[in-house]
Amino acid sequence: MGGLGRLIGVAAERGEAGLQAGWQAAVRGGRSVAGGRWALTALTSVAPPPVPATEPWKLSVGTLLGRHPRTPAAVHKLLGLLDGLGAVHLGPVKAGFDGEEIEWDKVVEVQTRNAFEVLTTTALEQEVDKVREFLPAVPGRKWAVTKVGEALATVVLAALERGSVEGRLDELAVPARIVYRGLLGRQRTLDAGCFAVATLVVSGQVGESLIATARRRGIVVRPAEEPVKPAQAAHVAALRERTDAVARLLSRIEQPGAVAELTELTAAEAESPEASVVSLVKVPSAPIGGPAPTHER
């Protein structure tokens, strides 16, 4: 399963030309939109954690947006708010996902989950739809909302493309669930969201570090119970349909009129609670990839 990871690693070493080639190889068949390449460029610029982790490490949607050269200064100050939308936290003392960190001393076990079952188009739309909740009304928010949606779709698309090219995403398990002791010793679970799981797929060393860190502390790592999978051929077909659906979503987010449409909205429309990145860029609010299993968080 080293395909996309190796391509991205080589691309980072070869500079812009390598990134262009890596992006084209990662999203084969011309189904992607080139504008989202900035998100993969940012992703490759973040050094992965050592295996096992020796110091606190984080990768989030905010991290990627912060590395975009045009991110407004006002938005830079608020990027930490996006950790609740999509993030992987890892270190020798704590680990977690999406803004919530659990002390290793409280962790009972780490469970691996099937990446294909988590990366549904419905889950992606739900995360994209939450973007506006995390950014208050500040100058540059409309631009940031579009770019965050673009980053989410790009990273998820890269993960899906890896599986579509290699035909094995349905067999790839990533450490995406933490079981821990909550208040009064009650057992609770923390599940990684769509962006976090896609990050674990694209940057395999992050998952390796999480597993190694857990095992070094004597914490059990085992597969989570998953739904019964359909036949392999149907699974791969569904994967490719899902990849196409995410590519279409990314295309709609990046369409030339999207930012203009954001700018043309009245202040009342832009700040209304009902507004979302999906509605703002005219992406249908209904699931676009067909029925797919989702997991309660």
What's this model's pTM, rounded to 2 decimal places?
0.72
Cα–Cα distances in Å, from 236 out to 138, 164, 165, 284?
43, 7, 10, 25
CA distance 113 to 62: 24
Average pLDDT score, the chain: 74
Residue 177 has pLDDT above 80, yes or no: yes
Contact 92, 105 (CB under 8 A): no
Residue 97's H or E segment, with its range, is: strand 94-97
Give the alpha-carbon dihedral of 248, 80, 75, 156, to 10 degrees: -10
Confidence of residue 78 (pLDDT cuts 50, 70, 90): confident
pLDDT in the model for residue 33 = 45
Q: Write out the E strands in 23-71.
A: 57-60
Confidence of residue 247 (pLDDT cuts 50, 70, 90): confident
